Structure 1
Amino acid sequence: MRDHQVTATAAQGFVPVVDLSRRNSAQGRRTIAEAIDQACMSSGFFVIVGHEVRQDLIDRMFSVTSTFFKLSDEEKDRVAHRPGVSGFRRVGGATALSLDQESPPDLCQAFAAHVTGELCEEERRTLGDQWATWTLANIWPENPADFRQVWEEYMAAMGELAADLMRLFALALGLEEGFFDDKFDHHGSSVAVNYYPPQTKAPLPGQLRRGPHTDFGSLTILYQEDERGGLQVLQGEDEWRDVAAIPGSFVVNIGDLMALWTGGRWVSTMHRVANPEAGDTSSRLTIPFFYLPNHDASIEPMRPTAEPCVDRSHSGAGVIAGQWMSCKLQKMFSGTT
């Protein structure tokens, strides 16, 4: 892969490109951490290349998932999300509701599986309330035959990448690399794929493929199709900036918990998925991995130290990660399931 500039003065401007290929050396990690810090202070978004996730795995993940969503509704409904089980949702919620903004349902279908979804029922019952999606058992479709195998392999690869990004985050904040490790040793992360069907009729007023929202957790790693756009990040009060897909890359953004954790130094930025232009009846598939802390992790805003890593003007109360996430999910899916 062609070498990319590591600094936050990247091709996409507001959403910089960060090359992780030098993260195996101490100096390389420091340089990458500096770039991440700049990106997270400005937009909360950056694109990573040189991440070492195998392209064949990414391609297989995209292929089996795309095949699943092209099945009939009847076949997809066999693995439908229901009490106690995480799977296919014909309506992927309304993300704007998570910010208490009225919104029609997003024009999106979804399939989700959780790292904790393979635990026994007794273990899962200890992880939170009824709105905590990571307490649900995974349900896997029989078609495609290798769906489960590929998804589990992909979740494992994303978990390893996310864990190292958190260590780089710690360096970026002037902390020991392992600062966040014990907050994620029983994480409830998930892959929650979004499928945006062809739009054959006009959306309702204000209806988008995904409405404006911020992510809830610590960080998100997103794969999006190279040739199909739609992801937009809010800059300033009202300027929406496209985030183009770079082949072989992932888009990374921080969520509300990470912004809180840094005492306001880093920003969790509003983003959305815009509708295609009139007459464009193509579908779109994106694969986000949501890296979440342990459900019982206490997230306390960092305070200034002798070597400050946070905004000194910030003050705020901490939260319990699982309670925060459950509240957001309840709002997102209220009235849409």
Structure 2
Amino acid sequence: MASRAQIPVVDLGDWHADPYDDGARRHLPGHDHAHDDSPHDGSARRRLAHHVDQALQSTGFLLVTGHGIDPGLPGRLRAAARDFFRLPSDVKNAYAQCADRRGWTARDRVVTGRSEGTETPPDLLEVWSCAADPATPCHWPDEVPALRPLVAEYTDRMRGLADTVLEVMATALDRPVDFFTRHTTDPNWDFTVNWYPAADETGPAAPGQFRIGPHTDFGLVTLLDRQTGRGGLQVHDDEHGWQDAPYEPGAITLNIGDLMARWSGDRWRSGRHRVLPPPVDAPREELTSLVYFHACAPGTSIASLPAPVGRTPYPAVRAGDYLQEKMRAILADGGA
């Protein structure tokens, strides 16, 4: 059995409880640092930002609490999504992904490991996906009318949470609090509901086959609401190899994506991870993950921050082009 990874817990309550916008004040002309000991001097925010900075340098992952998300919302969304995934395949085919890759993705259509150059058999999952542009898939399933409003509510909450985290991260780098969020007023977000069927439905996994193969995410930050299971999330550590990700009820798992790693000049790690195959010793275990991918506007030029913050000077990339190239790589048919 794999060991359990050490992923720090970050309570955003400390950020919300200290309303003082320390990041904005420190960049005002003539700011007097001699008065930084006032009751609302931003010290709680600075401590939180330092904690986030240290965690992202070591693992690229966080467990986020104090986020204010309605605790019942993920369960309601999962229930609606399962109603859809349980429909017959010929019904779901009517909602299959169209040219913009929004809608339903059947099994054997995604090979996530290809994004990092790892060849595996197709991933053992089904996906419902939508995105900011276009704001909806080709069409939503008439058979499950609750799905669309629940996805809209959930993604709205995730977008707000992602921007809050980006403010914390900007503060961690001693940048203005809107250093990242000025590029996310029109974000290029994606949202997927990943359904991992049970082993008694998929049959035994092929050698090297996973629910999701090893990869790093592509954008700025990913917010994951997941269920714990034996065939669940693992993260990779250079020293210890693959480890089971810790689970805390109600916490959102956050990880850094490739664009943010490039932007930080590799100060922060793009956390490598995978989802284990369905366990044969728990043949009825099925899991559903809610995955929100936050990225900046497609036309944003991402250039590495210079030293001493950054450590690797990557050439600038256009965010939208980078994401499209990565997405094409993971489709089993090569993007046709």
Report if TM-score (shorter chain) is over 0.5: yes
The equivalent residue for 1:182 is: 182
Distance 2:193 2:167 in 1: 26
Rounded Cα–Cα distance in structure 2 between residues aligned with 1:336 and 1:250? 32
**Residue 303 (structure 2) aligned to one of 292, 300, 304:** 300
* Residue in 2 that maps onto 1:232: 234
CA positional deviation for 1:317 = 0.8
Alignment match of 1:82 (pick from 88, 91, 98): 98
- What is residue 3 of structure 1 aligned with on the other side? none
TM score, norm. by length of structure 2: 0.86
Compute the displacement of 1:245 (Å): 2.1
The structure that has the greater radius of gyration is 2
**5+ residue gaps, structure 1:** 1-11, 119-135
Provide the secondary structure at the position in 2 that maps to 1:272: strand
Q: 1:320 is matched with which residue: 285, 306, 318?
A: 318
Q: Are 2:289 and 1:286 equivalent residues in the alignment?
A: yes
Residue aligning to 2:123? 106
Provide the residue aligned with 1:191 in structure 2.
191
Match of 1:218 in 2: 220
**Aligned AA (2:84):** F
1:162-191 CA-partner distances (Å, limit 9, x unpaired): 011111110111111011122112212011
Paired residues of 2:197 and 2:278 also in contact (CA < 8 A): no
Cα distance, 1:13 vs structure 2: 5.7
Whole-Å separation in 1 of the counterparts to 2:139 and 2:84: 13
Structure 2 distance, partners of 1:323, 1:149, is 30
Checking the alignment, whether the CA contact within 8 Å between 2:224 and 2:254 is kept in structure 1 is yes
1: distance between equivalents of 2:240 and 2:162?
31
* C-alpha displacement of 1:22: 1.5
Alignment correspondent of 2:275: 273
Is 1:329 aligned to 2:327, yes or no?
yes
Q: C-alpha separation between the residues in 1 aligned to 2:101 and 2:323?
A: 18
In the alignment, the residues of structure 2 paired with residue 237 and residue 208 of structure 1 have an alpha-carbon distance, to the nearest angstrom, of 22
TM-score, with length taken from structure 1: 0.85
- Kept in 2: contact 1:229–1:244 (CA 8 A): no
Which deviations, in whole Å up to 9, do the C-alpha atoms of 1:199-224 show, x marking residues without a partner?
A: 23222221111110000110000001
Aligned residues: 304
Deviation of 1:237 after TM superposition, in Å, equals: 5.8
User: Is this contact kept in 1: 2:304–2:316, CA < 8 A?
Assistant: yes
| Cα deviations by residue, 1:231-269 (Å, 9 ceiling, x for unpaired) | 000011662111132111110000111000001111112
Per-residue deviation, residues 99-123 of structure 1 (Å, max 9, x unmatched): 12222111111010112223xxxxx
Partner Cα distance (2:286, 2:294) in 1: 26
The residue type equivalent to 2:330 in the other structure is M
Tell me the equivalent position of 1:151.
151
User: Is the partner of 2:325 in helix, strand or coil?
Assistant: helix
Instruction: Report the counterpart of residue 161 of structure 1 in structure 2.
Output: 161
**Aligned amino acid, residue 223 of structure 2:** I
The range that moved more, 27-36 or 288-297, is 27-36
2:225 touches 2:291 (CA, 8 Å); kept in 1? yes
197-206 or 48-57, larger mean C-alpha shift:
197-206
In structure 1, the residue matched to 2:62 is 46
**Partner residue of 1:122?**
none
CA distance in 1, matches of 2:101, 2:313: 39
Which deviations, in whole Å up to 9, do the C-alpha atoms of 1:260-279 show, x marking residues without a partner? Answer: 00011111121000123323
Q: Distance in 1 between matches of 2:101 and 2:14?
A: 41
**One-letter amino acid matched to 1:144:** V
Alpha-carbon RMSD: 1.8
| Residue type at the aligned position of 1:61 | L
SS at 2:120 equivalent: coil
Shift of 1:149: 0.6
The one-letter code matched in structure 2 to 1:170 is A
Residues 107/57 of structure 1: CA separation in 2 closer, same or farther (3 Å cut): same
Task: Give the counterpart letter for 1:147 in structure 2.
Answer: L
Residue in 2 that maps onto 1:17: 9
Equivalent position of 1:97 in the other structure? 114
Of 84-93 and 191-200, deviating more is: 84-93
**Offset of 1:292 from its aligned partner?**
1.1
Distance in structure 2 (CA, Å) of the matches to 1:326 and 1:261: 18
- Secondary structure of the equivalent of 1:253? strand
Which residue of structure 1 aligns with residue 23 of structure 2? Answer: none
Pairing 1:68–2:84 present: yes
Contact 2:77–2:150 under 8 Å retained in 1: yes
Question: 1:268 is paired with a residue of what secondary structure?
Answer: coil
2:172 corresponds in structure 1 to 172
Give unmatched runs, 5+ long, in structure 2: 19-41
